[in-house]
Structure 1
Amino acid sequence: MHPNPSRRAVLAATLATGLMPRARAQSARPLRLVVPFTPGGSTDILARALAPKLALALGTNVVVENRAGAGGSLGAGEVARAEPDGNTLLMGHIGTLAVNPALYPKLPYDPIKSFAPVAWVARVPNVLVVPATAKAKTLQEFIAQAQAQPGRLTYSSGGNGSAAHITFELLKLRARIFMLHIPYRGTAPSINDLIAGQVDSTFTGTPAVLPHVKAGRLRALAVSSPQRIAALPDVPTVAESGVAGFEADQWYGVVAPAGTPAAVVARLNAEINKALALPDVAQQLATEGAVPTPGTPQDFAALIARELPRWAEVVKAGNVKVS
């Protein structure tokens, strides 16, 4: 049940005067930052980097809760139904907020109507990786191998309709290759099997694969961003490697339930932007291959609106199904 108007007005006034820590201490309610995926993926890593800074700034506990299922739809739906009081937030990303509407005919939320965008947190290039023992040393060699053996090579993802799945579908369309998709229940298990050689490749967010690339367990063939990334300066972009115009970075941001008071949204936005500017957070994100994207709630709203039709086209062209 949503709070009544008078309670909401009091909360907004409290936040606007900068007394959020005291209000939260009195309510003894922790702030829930819901991650709609299993632990270990890019969304989870970024949420856990942000949570302690928010806790310090807001004077309350910030609990990261993993609510996985249906490509992030279950966790997102839970936040959409929560009270719009600033105590429940979603670490949303390209899948939950831009891809899922094209995949699920009966989503428990609307990416535009169900949420109040709070802050665009980061942009994370995807990295196409293969086992360290793989034959292909470059993306060109990988594509040639896939073209020579249609349907023989496999790629893993964190689930049907996940960002990794959709990104690889875009690569398949642009490179004109056919490969078998192997979905997992989460990014971490999909990477574990890739390292073990059970699958041939994956194309997922930098934070989840970078440690394995650095340790020599995986080989990075290409990144999805328009330019090379600092974390992997020797790895070319997909466009550099011959697939012209390819760009498919993941993006992440915080949203609150629709109806959250503007003052609450503004305060949360300000604190998230401050956290992103902290040297240790910036360094942590850079180490993970993530690029901070501070801005206004309106900036994040515009991104969501822009990305929805783009990925709907990919889902349709690739005939992507979630079951």
Structure 2
Amino acid sequence: MRARPDWRALFLAAGLLLGTACAAAPQAYTIVVPAPPGGPIDRVARLLAPDLAAALGHPVVVDNRLGAAGKIGVQAALRAPRDGHTLIAVSPSIASVNPVVDKAPGYDPLADFDALGIAATNAGVVAVRAGLPVADMAELVHYAKAHPGELTYGSFGIGTSLHLQSEELLHTLGIDARHIPYKGEAQVMAALAGGEVDLMLYATAPIVPLVQSGRVRALAATSSQRWAMLPQVPSYAETGLPALRTYQYRSWVGFVLPTGTPAADRQAVLQAWQRTLASPKLRESLTAQGFEPASGDPADMQRTVAGEIGRLRALLASGRITLD
């Protein structure tokens, strides 16, 4: 008589084999990007992910979580298991602006973020629609004063870093423009190229082909030096406007872990992070897309965020900028 198979034993063995296979399978890391695809945070995260995966020895997935000026993505990442497998890509909008302009952002960057460091900084240009009859910053100021209330500018949304920086620049120049909020950098640039808005007061690498094709015009680089991606465009310091002689703006993209990540897990990610940022290939890729590779030092990022929060609080308290 043929013996009946022991189904319980077979199921148990299959379960053990499945469990062993799952345990042996590589566990992916996730970079949560609380911003739309195509923007500066997303571009840096996607450039960095392959090198970080090689350094970690595990896949790294970029996960765009959109909405509420980055809050949805950040809050989702903070709810994930704190095992070192969830990183968050952040910018001034997320790390410095939200905690100042939002009464309930759902996170405290100085208490809830364990900084890995700033991966890249980036300058940009002041850009205008092709049909606006201005060729430089001095003509923009003259036009704005001659046509009060007519100019419009685009940003990533109310209370974002681009919104605040734009209002600060307008105040510095002594002119006004009406704010039109969009959902991301790509949308603002499309609106500018289509003539829906007059100005974008800080535009990064994706603006270059629009400038080269004549669909928009670049008036000045937003730092004290010319921008390598559009070297023909004068810097703020070269515009001849006294208000811009020492004025400049540079944004950045950094990466954090949620606080409470076990020390061993954090150390493993930090070591992989430092090897990644030392990669010549990554540094070349960042430079090619208009970014300047940064040191990736955790303490430097912590100081940067704390300093920006203090500056923005003082800026809002002064009454020079309103969010209405």
What band does the TM-score fall into relative to the shorter chain? 0.7 to 0.9
| TM-score of the superposed pair, with normalisation by structure 1 | 0.86
Contact 1:85–1:260 (8 Å) recurs in 2 = yes
1:127-166 matches, cutoff 5 A: 127-166=125-164
Q: How does 1:10-89 map to 2 (within 5 A)?
A: 26=24, 28-89=26-87
Identity, % of aligned pairs?
A: 36
Tell me the CA shift for residue 104 of structure 1: 0.2
CA deviations on 1:33-74 (whole Å, 9 max, x unpaired) are 111111111111111111111122212221111112221122
Aligned pairs for 1:151-230 within 5 A: 151-230=149-228
Partner residue, 2:6? none
Farther off after superposition, 226-235 or 42-51: 226-235
User: Offset of 1:97 from its aligned partner?
Assistant: 0.6
Secondary structure in structure 1 of the residue aligned to 2:236: coil
Alpha carbons 2:202, 2:222 under 8 Å: kept: no
Q: Helix, strand or coil for the counterpart of 1:302? A: helix
- The answer to whether the aligner puts 1:319 opposite 2:321 as a matched pair is yes
The range that moved more, 276-285 or 149-158, is: 276-285
TM-superposed deviation, 1:318: 3.9
Change (3 A) 1:130 1:311: same
Task: Quote the Cα distance in structure 2 between the aligned partners of 1:177 and 1:255.
Answer: 37
Q: Which moved more, 1:238-247 or 1:186-195?
A: 238-247
Unaligned stretches of 5+ in structure 1?
1-23
The separation in 2 between residues aligned to 1:198 and 1:177, in whole angstroms, is 20
Q: Find the structure with the greater CA-based Rg.
A: 2
Is the contact between residue 166 and residue 314 of structure 1 (CA under 8 Å) also seen in structure 2? no
TM-score, length-scaled by structure 2: 0.85
- Decide whether the 8 Å contact of 2:167 with 2:321 is kept in 1: no
Deviations 1:102-136 (A, max 9, x none): 11001110010011001211111132111233321
Contact persistence 2:30–2:87 (CA under 8 A):
yes
CA distance in 2, matches of 1:103, 1:189: 23
Kept after mapping to 2: 8 A contact 1:71/1:162: yes
CA contact (8 A) 1:206 1:288 kept: no
Aligned residues between the structures: 299
Give 1:314 deviation, angstroms: 3.1
Q: Any unmatched runs of 5+ in structure 2? A: 1-21
**Structure 1 residues 29 and 151: CA distance shift in structure 2, 3 A:** farther
Tell me the equivalent position of 1:273: 274
Query: Does the 8 A contact of 1:169 with 1:314 survive in 2?
Result: no
**Matched residues in 2 for 1:273 and 1:143: separation?**
44
Contact 2:124 2:204 in 1 (8 A): yes
Deviation at 1:100, TM superposition (A): 1.1
Q: Say if 2:164 and 2:321, in contact at 8 Å, map to a contact too.
A: no
2:111 aligned counterpart, secondary structure: coil
> 1:306 offset after TM fit, Å?
1.4
Alignment of 1:80-119 (within 5 A): 80-119=78-117
User: Residue 113 of structure 1: SS of its match in structure 2?
Assistant: helix
What are the superposed Cα offsets for residues 75-96 of structure 1, whole Å, 9 maximum, x if unpaired? 1222233322111111111111
Say whether the 8 Å CA contact 1:164–1:202 is kept in structure 2.
Answer: no
